[in-house]
C-alpha cells in the first residue's frame, strides 16, 4: 500500500509563489529604473555654470601640457639615468600644470552643499592622482625604472573616480579636466 502524495502539490505551489514574487520584484525594479530613478550621475554637479567655467581652465591646461615634450621618438625600453631624469622633469612640469588646474577648478564657487561635497571628494581624489605622479617621478630621479601605478580608490585606480566626475557617462562633461594618461605603458625588466 502506498501513502498519499500530498507533498508534491504543496512544493509546486510554493515554487510558483516564489517565482511570481521574483518576477514581480524584477518588474518593479525595471519600472522604477525607467520611470522614477534619477537620471543624474553620482558625481554630477547641479550647478551647470561650474562646467562652463571649468572647461576653459582645463582646455588651457591641456594645451600648455601638450607643448611640454615631443614623444614621437617612441618608448625607450632601457633608459639611462639621464633619460629617466629628463622624463621626470617633463612629468613634474605636467603635474605642476595639472595641480594648478585642479586647484583653479575646485575654487570655482558652486551653489549647493551637495555640489561642495562632490567637489571636496573630487579634490581629494585628484590630489591622490597628483601624489601618485610625484611618487613616480621621485622613483625615476632615484634611478628606479618603475611602472607608473595609482592609488586604489573605490575598488579601482583613483583616476577612475576622477574620470567619473569629469567625463563619465553621467559626469560633468569636462573631459579636458580628466587626469592625463601619458604615464601608462609597460616596462621590461
- Segment 98-113, tens digit of pLDDT: 999 999 999 999 999 9
Which whole number is the average pLDDT over 136-142? Answer: 93
User: Residue ranges per domain, the chain?
Assistant: 48-67+78-177
Annotate 87-121 with DSSP letters as a single string. Answer: HHHHHHHHHHHHHHHHHHHHTS--SSHHHHHHHHH
Residue 126 parent element (H or E): helix 113-141
pLDDT confidence tier of residue 182, bands split at 50, 70 and 90: low
Cα-based angle 187, 133, 105 (whole degrees, multiple of 5)? 140
- Look at 9-13, 41-45, 46-50, 86-90 and tell me which has the smallest mean pLDDT: 9-13
Q: Give φ, ψ of 147 to 5 degrees.
A: -80, 140
Instruction: Look at the pTM and tell me if it is higher than 0.75.
Output: no
Model confidence at 131: pLDDT above 60: yes
pLDDT confidence tier of residue 186, bands split at 50, 70 and 90: very low
pLDDT digits (tens, 9 = 90+) for 89-99: 989 999 999 99
Amino acid at each position: 500500500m502506498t501513502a498519499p502524495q500530498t507533498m508534491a502539490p504543496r512544493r509546486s505551489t510554493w515554487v510558483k509563489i516564489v517565482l511570481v514574487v521574483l518576477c514581480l520584484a524584477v518588474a518593479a525594479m525595471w519600472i522604477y529604473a525607467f520611470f522614477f530613478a534619477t537620471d543624474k550621475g553620482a558625481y554630477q554637479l547641479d550647478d551647470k555654470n561650474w562646467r562652463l567655467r571649468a572647461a576653459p581652465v582645463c582646455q588651457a591646461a591641456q594645451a600648455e601640457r601638450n607643448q611640454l615634450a615631443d614623444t614621437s621618438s617612441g618608448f625607450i625600453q632601457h633608459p639611462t639615468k639621464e633619460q629617466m631624469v629628463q622624463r621626470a622633469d617633463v612629468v613634474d612640469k605636467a603635474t605642476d600644470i595639472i595641480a594648478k588646474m585642479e586647484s583653479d577648478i575646485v575654487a570655482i564657487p558652486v551653489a549647493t552643499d551637495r555640489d561642495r561635497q562632490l567637489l571636496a571628494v573630487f579634490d581629494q581624489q585628484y590630489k591622490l592622482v597628483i601624489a601618485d605622479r610625484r611618487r613616480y617621478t621621485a622613483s625615476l630621479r632615484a634611478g628606479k625604472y618603475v611602472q607608473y601605478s595609482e592609488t586604489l580608490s573605490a575598488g579601482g585606480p583613483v583616476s577612475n573616480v576622477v574620470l567619473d566626475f569629469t567625463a563619465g557617462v553621467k559626469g560633468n562633461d569636462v573631459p579636458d579636466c580628466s587626469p592625463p594618461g601619458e604615464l601608462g605603458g609597460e616596462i621590461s625588466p
